[in-house]
Every structure is written in structure tokens, then in C-alpha cells.
């Protein structure tokens, strides 16, 4: 089973960016943990980070050969109809993840435009959100496979 992980804008700065909110782990450290868990679960992972909305849309469109997507759309969560439409278009289960709990933060972060197109959302568990997201993606992809 192949899973695509997409990190959105500014997540390349993790480790130094607003560490009181996002923690001190770097993106490389998070990716290492994801790869370790993927190996344990027997999953193949492809991981990308992009600061560009259109590039994220392209990545999602090229995901047809994947069983599921784990995506932290970062600030695009709250603004991007294009990313939401891309997820809806490819019809691959997507798990939306956030390091912080977006529902307890500023008003503008409480609304996710992505959530209605995603299978579910994991928000507020720091870097663990990604690992929970990967487990959720494997679960939902397996459920879809058994149903077909
Ligand atoms: C984030 C939350 C977003 O509101 C913010 O713009 C981010 C990171 C998170 O992982 O908590 O860049 O997606």
C-alpha cells in the first residue's frame, strides 16, 4: 500500500517556527518518524513539502496511484478551494492533519475548507498528529479496499 504525505507552506521551517505552538521537532525528524512507522506497518511512503498552492494541487492530481493521502495543508487549510477540489476530484481517501488544535486558536483558523473533502481530521497532537494520520490513512484505505 502506497501513501502520499503532503506538507504545506512554512512547514519546512518546523523546529524554529513558533516552537511554542508547533513544537521543536524539525520536518526531517517528523519524516523520519513517519518512515519508521510506515516500515512497521508495511506501507510505502512518498513525502513532499511545498510552499505553493498550485504545486500541491499537482501533487494531489498525480496521486491516483496511491491508496491514501495524509495532508497538512497548513495555512491553505483556511483558504484553498483549489486544494479541496483536487482532493474531491481524485477520490482517494485523505486524512487532514494539524500539529496544533486549530479549533482552539484564532477564529480564522477554526474553519477548514479541506475538511468536507477529507475522510477525517486529526488536530492538536503535535508531531504525533502525523503518526495518527498515517494510521488513519492505512485504516481508511484498507476499509475502502475491502468494500470494493
Ligand atoms: C497548521 C495550522 C495552520 O493554521 C497553520 O497555518 C499552519 C500549521 C498546524 O499544523 O497546526 O501552518 O496546519
Q: Write the pLDDT tens digit of every residue in 76-135.
A: 999 999 999 999 999 899 999 999 999 999 999 999 999 999 999 999 999 999 999 999
How many angstroms is it from 66 CA to the middle of ligand 1?
24
Longest Cα separation, the chain: 44
Is position 78 annotated as part of the catalytic site? no
What is the DSSP-derived secondary structure letter of residue 42?
T
Is position 52 annotated as part of the catalytic site? no
| Residues framing ligand 1 (Cβ under 6 A) | 10, 72, 74-75, 77, 98-100, 102, 109
Give residues with Cβ within 8 angstroms of 12, minimum separation 6: 27, 49, 51
pTM above 0.95, yes or no: yes
* Domain range 2-147, CATH architecture: 3-Layer(aba) Sandwich (3.40)
C-alpha radius of gyration, the chain, whole number = 14
CA 18 to chain centre: 19
Any idea where the domains of the chain sit in the sequence? 2-147
Amino acid at each position: 500500500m502506497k501513501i502520499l504525505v503532503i506538507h504545506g507552506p512554512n512547514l519546512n521551517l518546523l523546529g524554529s517556527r513558533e516552537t511554542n505552538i508547533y513544537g521543536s521537532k524539525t520536518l526531517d525528524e517528523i519524516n523520519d518518524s513517519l518512515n519508521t512507522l510506515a516500515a512497521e506497518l508495511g506501507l510505502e511512503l512518498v513525502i513532499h513539502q511545498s510552499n505553493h498552492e498550485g504545486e500541491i494541487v499537482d501533487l494531489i492530481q498525480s496521486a491516483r496511484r496511491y491508496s491514501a493521502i495524509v495532508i497538512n495543508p497548513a495555512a491553505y487549510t483556511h483558504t484553498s478551494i483549489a486544494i479541496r477540489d483536487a482532493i474531491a476530484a481524485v477520490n482517494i481517501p485523505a486524512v487532514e492533519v494539524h500539529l496544533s488544535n486549530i479549533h482552539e486558536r484564532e477564529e480564522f483558523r477554526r474553519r477548514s475548507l479541506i475538511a468536507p473533502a477529507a475522510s477525517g481530521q486529526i488536530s492538536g497532537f503535535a508531531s504525533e498528529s502525523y503518526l495518527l494520520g498515517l494510521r488513519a490513512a492505512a485504516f481508511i484505505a484498507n476499509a475502502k479496499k475491502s468494500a470494493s
